[in-house]
Copies of this chain bind each other. A is one copy, B any other.
Amino acid sequence: MLTYSFENIGSDTLYEYLYKSLKQDINDGVLSPDQKLPSKRSFAKNLSISTITVENAYSQLIAEGYIYSIPKKGYYVSNISNIKNVPNHKFNFDNSEKYISTDKNRTSPDVINLASNHISADNFPFSIWSKLIRDVISNEKDELMKPLPSAGSFELRNAIAKHLWDYRGLDVNPEQIIIGAGTEYLYSIIIQLIGRNFIYGVEDPGYRKISKIYNSNSILCEYIPLTSCGVDTDILNKGHADVIHISPSHHFPTGIVTSAGTRYELLAWANNSADHYIIEDDYDSEFRLVGKPIPALLSIDNNEKVIYMNSFSKSLSSTIRISYMILPKHLMDKYNELLSFYACTVSSFEQSTLAKFISQGYFEKHINRMRNYYRKLRDMLLDAIKKSELSSRCTILEENSGLHFLLRISTEKSDKQLKEDAVKNGLHISCLSDYYMNPKHSEEHTIIVNYSSIREENIDLIISKLCEVVD
């Protein structure tokens, strides 16, 4: 086995010395391209050092492109004649990927991802964010160190309440807002607040993650199918759900907007029992591209039945992890009594930064800019589709809201085949059928085109790839 003596280590740490020795041997050709390196454990044992030392040396070499890793196989020497042409992050990416083999949203950088709705780095307001966070750190040192209220900083809750009033017409008491590190975390608070002995109704089709989270928390879920007006209230009324989790403003992935009639039927269902609640997930209401925003169900709830949830994942970035919910007054009282021992899960640095981002008007500007940007991107995509071979064999649906539309395609291929062929063409897609729990309701041949992370310059490439996939 490859071995090194640490005799001449000098002032280096073990890790640095090992890293330098390997690098030298790769540069000198002693280790040749694609040669397999020893596993971390056996190398560590052989050199009588810790595996973490080997791990760190390997990580550094991966980061610099001298070696590469293949998940479940091991570490190999790179062909260093290529190194200078490859951006650094590619290697970082390869490296981090072995830690997240189950994260299906993460694809290699060469693949265009229509299944992800993360936003592109061009669209985050980095310079303003950087300025605000610097101001916060300069001016609020004492405040930043003080424990925040469990429900979040007053400043941020007030800014959100004002924003909801100005842009969503919602008259919300900031005292009823709870800030949390993502809606997923807030679901767990709802479960603890409402109780575990209830059945939660979730939309079918819908985000699978929602029922996964409830199931992981030992909650039974009932799947409620949709009509063109929203969840099927006949089935809801005949079923066993106590709490329903819905997105009335804009359902994902079908894009269905819950009709006014269904909204009142939902509230009537909620008013039937003290145990009934509606969780309104308003995740992308900022991005209605045509017409006026749809009023929130919360705005017509007179009986404290609606728990409203929203996040900054779509409107800013999912990587800042700030969401909020608005509890009916009696549930907020219960939260204060029973659950306010929890520390707020969002950093005070970021709460303060976001509060200023909203209250100083940057959030409004950002949303307006993004709405225009997404409208343009969507129009370019639709235009490219119309001009392509696809146009004769596809229908475009639900293109007026959110950051995706549906492409219904006339093809002989199964959805499974479509997705596999897409991957072969360097395209990651999802289909409507992926979101159905009950396969018999599912529709084949409908591709979901999430366009928030794609770049203008790739549109023609994407459409030509789609044409090949469908053929």
Residues of chain A at the chain B interface (Cβ within 8 Å) = 15, 50-53, 55-56, 59, 89, 92, 95-96, 98-103, 105-106, 116, 118-121, 124, 126, 129-130, 133-134, 137-138, 141-151, 153-155, 157-158, 161-162, 165, 171-175, 181-182, 184-185, 188, 192, 196, 209, 212-213, 216-218, 317-322, 336-350
Contacts A192-B216, A192-B217 aside, 17 further interface pairs with beta carbons under 8 A come to A51-B173, A55-B158, A96-B155, A116-B147, A120-B145, A130-B134, A134-B134, A144-B317, A148-B319, A181-B181, A181-B185, A181-B345, A213-B341, A213-B342, A320-B349, A322-B347, A349-B350
* Contact of A147 (CB < 8 Å), options: B146, B148, B161, B318: B318
Cβ-defined contact, A147 with B339, below 8 A: no
Copies in the assembly, this chain: 2
For A159, the closest partner residue in chain B by CB is: B56
A121 in contact with B149 (CB, 8 Å): no
Contact check, A150 vs B89: say whether CB atoms are below 8 A apart: no
Q: How far is the CA of A341 from the CA of B321 in the complex (A)?
A: 15
A338 contact from B55, B137, B155, B216, Cβ within 8 A: B216
Instruction: A318 to B52: give the CA distance in the assembly, Å.
Output: 28
Contact between chains at B50 and A101 (CB < 8 Å): no
**Complex: chain B residue closest to A136, CB-CB:** B130
A209 to chain B: closest residue by CB: B341
Could you jot down 16 A-B contacts, CB within 8 Å? A50-B171, A51-B171, A52-B161, A52-B165, A100-B151, A100-B340, A103-B147, A103-B340, A133-B137, A144-B317, A145-B317, A145-B319, A185-B345, A213-B342, A216-B339, A319-B349
Q: What residues of chain B lie closer than 8 Å to A124, measured between beta carbons?
A: 141, 144-145
CB atoms of B138 and A130 under 8 A apart: yes
A130 to B140, CA, bound (A): 13
Which interface residue of A106, A133, A145, A149 has the most chain B CB atoms within 10 A? A145
Q: How far is the CA of A145 from the CA of B196 in the complex (A)?
A: 35
Task: Tell me how far the C-beta of A358 lies from the nearest C-beta in chain B, rounded to whole angstroms.
Answer: 13
- Assuming the A-B contacts A192-B217, A321-B346, A342-B184, are A158 and B59 also in contact, with contact meaning beta carbons closer than 8 angstroms in the complex? yes
Q: Shortest Cβ distance from A334 into chain B, in angstroms? A: 11
Could you tell me if B320 and A343 are in contact, using CB atoms closer than 8 angstroms? no
| CB of A462, distance to nearest CB on chain B (Å) | 19
Main secondary structure of the interface of A (DSSP, over half): helix
For A158, list chain B residues within 8 Å (CB): 55-56, 59
Closest to A151 in B: B99
Whether B347 contacts A321 by the Cβ 8 Å rule is yes
Give min CB distance, A374 to chain B, whole Å. 15
Cβ contact of A146, chosen from B99, B118, B157, B321, cutoff 8 A: B118
* Docked CA distance A321–B179 (Å): 13
Q: A145-B119, A349-B320 are in contact. Are A96 and B154 (CB under 8 A)?
A: yes
A126: which B residues are within 8 A, CB to CB? 137, 141
Residues from chain B with Cβ under 8 Å of A144 in the complex = 121, 124, 317, 319
- Inter-chain CA distance A92–B105, complex, in Å, is 42
A-B pairs, top 7 by smallest CB distance, nearest first, are A100-B149, A96-B154, A181-B345, A319-B348, A121-B141, A181-B181, A102-B340
Q: Which residues of B contact A157 (CB under 8 A)?
A: 99
Report the bound CA distance from A37 to B262 in whole Å: 42
Contact B154 A319 (CB under 8 A): no
Asked whether A89 lies within 8 Å of B142 as measured between CB atoms, the reply is yes
Contact A89 B143 (CB under 8 A): yes
Asked if A121 and B145 make an inter-chain contact with CB atoms under 8 angstroms apart, the answer reads yes
Please, which residues of chain B bring their CB within 8 A of the CB of A56? 158, 162
Partner of A130, one of B137, B146, B319, B343: B137
- Name the distance in Å between A379's Cβ and chain B's nearest Cβ: 23
The CA of A182 and the CA of B339, in the complex, are separated in Å by 15
- How distant is the Cα of A218 from the Cα of B173 in the complex, in angstroms? 30
Please name the residue on chain B nearest to A317 by beta carbon.
Answer: B145
